[in-house]
Amino acid sequence: MAASKDMLGSSSPLLLERSSFLPNSRDLLLRRPNELCFSPSLVLPTRKGRLNAGRNFKAPFAAISEKPPLIKRVWASEEKPVKFTVRAALTVRKKSKEDIKETIANHLDALSDKIGRNVVLELISTHIDPKTKKAKKSSEAVLKDWSKKANVRTERVIYTAEFVVDSSFGEPGAITVRNRHQREFYLETIVVEGFACGPVHFDCNSWVQSSRDHPEKRIFFSNKPYLPSQTPAGLRDLRENELKALRGDGKGVRKSSDRIYDYAKYNDLGNPDKGIEGVRPTLGGDEIPYPRRCRTGRPPSDSDLGAESRVEKPYPMYVPRDEAFEESKQDTFSAGRLKAVLHSLIPSLIASIDADNQDFKGFHDIDKLYKEGLLLKEGLQDHLLKKLPFVSKIQETSQGLLRYDTPNIISKDKYAWLRDDEFARQAIAGINPVNIERLQVFPPMSKLDPEIYGPQESSIKEEHIVGQLNGMTVQQAIEAEKLYMLDFHDAYLPFIERINALDGRKAYATRTIFFLSQTGTLKPVAIELSLPSTTPSRPPKRRVLTPPTDATTHWKWQMAKAHVCSNDAGVHQLVNHWLRTHACMEPFILAAHRRLSAMHPVFKLLHPHMRYTLEINALARQSLINAGGVIESCFTPGQYCMEISAAAKASPPDLVRRGMAVPDPTQPHGLRLLIDDYPYASDGLLIWSAIEKWVRTNVDRYYPDAARIKSDAELQAWYAESIRVGHADKKDEPWWPALDRPEHLTSVLTTLIWLASAQHAALNFGQYPLGGYIPNRPPLMRRLIPDESDPEHSNFLADPQRFYLSSMPSLLQAINFMAVVDTLSTHSPDEEYLGERQQPSTWTEDAEIVEAAYEFSAEIRRIEAVIERRNADPKLKNRCGAGVLPYELLVPSSSPGVTCRGVPNSVSI
């Protein structure tokens, strides 16, 4: 509280806000005839900083005399209302780059504005007109000086408009905008001044379409939050009409200018019109349960009426207009895609000329990607530059276009990834720190059907590991909470036979057991590699490897770790990253726009955590998770990637379910971590608690009891639709909390904000810094580990390094993967980070929430300082030490680029 007051000064920014273009509205100013006359504000601060509500004041309204020079103070009790003028300032954001069509349209709009085809606005009162029984309205007003400012070269342009209202108008609660120009424009904010209540803010941040495309008026509500039951009479119809417009009718093909939010199954990942190789199953439904995605309404494919037709690049996939990337984000993403093209196309051409350039022959070939780049053959450089004109836009040498930045994982210690302790450290401080679990039953047990997949009991026995437990028995180590596991057995085994039948794909279903040392670090003590039975009468083939004792077992152990990492990379990308952040958030976002008014305090709370998610998910369906897309090309499961994603449990295992923490009310966050130095968990608990406190403040402010929650029709409709429609295939699962108490609402909202911000950041922004060095974390494996009876065993013995590298992605597979994860790990310049939202007073008028928002921001800054201190603490060996990378994925702030840190508000990449 004290910190936030220091930031704010002695007064709340909401209560003492001043006009940017009118005199101080708290003073009663008498001007020349026809100028505005202001009364004292009706919004009075209390000692607690809350709005002084619930009292009836008879204060004078601002007025303009009808007969100058008479100045008249008009009181609310007068029978004959007097007309007066108020003024609005609209902030419009302009594009920094325009193509020829846009430039021409801009000039035409400037000309048409002069002849009366303007942008027309109208104020809507919170009060009902007793005669018409409808909301009171101002006169229509035209946006001034559009043509004069058409050529202004600035990011934002301020326009003004003047409205005539009468003294009984009351407080404005909404404003309508009709765009009679030819092109859309981006409206950021509107501020209306001249009313006794003080400046009225409208937080718009939306594209306003031409009335030719969308003849209905756009509605924007003021920043004053209202629960549905508290909506002023003048706004009730507008509130419901706006939500109906956003829901649409579920029919037709969506246009890029539409603002319709609706649901569909994932039936657009394949392209059956390309033949059998393009067929992919529909995700969503009884056969393959999956969350829903945004409906586009595209017609079915020619070959399969159940499959939606594809839209391929460069044509855009539909998302509601306001969900599309803004210009700076689009530029950053397009630059990343250009980089990906250059990294994949040019080497592809090289490979087509030099057939011997398919595999890495040694680790020095991988190092060249970062040091020298790929050298083009003589004459090929000029040829490519002529064929690819966009290359000239990049101010780099041709070799620079083929050179990658050195990933963080090898920047401090080039060979750290080879060590067992680093392999184990990344299970709790790497890209995928959410699968590690405490071993509570030995041997580990499968949950798969034994009739199909064989005995459920693991083949890891006590004799495999007992010599590595510092003198403990296995049972003693379990009781002392010393044994941990990465278990990918059940996730992969049902798919192994199909995966291994693919050309150039080989996989095991793996389990890895770790022992927790006295220093707080983990060490791997056994890896189990499982293959399914080839015939019903034979048991599955399993082998257990333990830390090496000679050269041969050293290389086999390294290959076993590589297969574990490949399993881990697949589960990370397909389940924890894509499914449990991107895909699971989408239905909640769709439902929020369909069921929660922009005036709803829960919508205002969630709004920054929904930014860009629908767009990045649409782009993923177009080129990442689709048939033949990057995920299938770069990960071991190939065409079965999304089926593995769908087979995963929808409810993610949290710290307690994984046995990584136990409830403990004496601890700051109510949990005791069983591995004290668990960077993801210890940093994450700080952020979780800050989010939870911020959410609880909002919930307590608007929902003092269970009755208020149960009676909120919009809130209940949002939650019910998110589950029953958006997650329809899992709607009857027992783990969905009932939305019937403040603590349940706090839990639901905290979880959603956590998933969109911190959880996604922890799983996403380390992909290139930690995974950009392929041997550290190969996403794809091409060979199994040969045993002595295998014909390849002699090749393995003759050149184990080359065999090892040939089991990993080829040169082209590696550089394609590196280019993509480089783009996915990049923060754009317009990123909005946790605790860094626009001025709270622009999106809410509630002084208590404004103050809490500043406190939340201050708490996030304090957490950042704590994490930085932890990363410098030599006692924390999983994040500090010789060659050890600090754990920065949950450090809240970041600069643009690939920084391996930063927690954006939303799933934005």
Catalytic residue IDs: 577, 582, 760, 764, 909
Burial class (CB in 10 A: 0-12, 13-18, 19+), 554: middle
Query: Which residue do the tokens 């900083």 mark?
Result: 49
Write the single-letter amino acid at 789. S
3-class SS of residue 834: coil
CA angle, residues 728, 732, 737, in degrees to nearest 5: 105
3-class SS of residue 11: coil
Q: At what angle do helices 489-500 and 551-571 cross, to 10 degrees?
A: 100
- The count of residues in the chain is 909
Terminal Cα-to-Cα distance of the chain (whole angstroms):
34
**β-strand partners of 190:** 90, 202
Q: What are the structure tokens assigned to 139, written together?
A: 């006169």
CA 549 – CA 570 distance, rounded (Å)? 30
Strands 119-128 and 135-137: antiparallel
Query: Which residue do the tokens 């002069």 mark?
Result: 114
Check if the beta carbon of residue 353 is closer than 8 Å to that of residue 380. Answer: yes
CA 2 – CA 848 distance, rounded (Å)? 14
Burial class (CB in 10 A: 0-12, 13-18, 19+), 798: exposed
Q: What contacts 847, CB < 8 A, 6 or more positions away?
A: 12, 14, 15, 45, 49, 50, 51
Q: What are the structure tokens assigned to 352, written together?
A: 């087509």
CA 909 – CA 907 distance, rounded (Å)? 6
Residues 506, 508, 509, 513: is their CA dihedral positive or negative?
A: negative
Check if the beta carbon of residue 905 is closer than 8 Å to that of residue 833. Answer: yes
CA 165 – CA 344 distance, rounded (Å)? 62
Query: Which residue do the tokens 């765009």 mark?
Result: 179
Check if the beta carbon of residue 142 is closer than 8 Å to that of residue 119. Answer: yes
Q: Exposed e or buried b for every residue in 193-226, given b needs 16+ CB within 10 A? A: bbbbbbbbbbbbbbbbbbbeebeeebbbbbbbbb
Q: What are the structure tokens assigned to 860, written together?
A: 């996030």
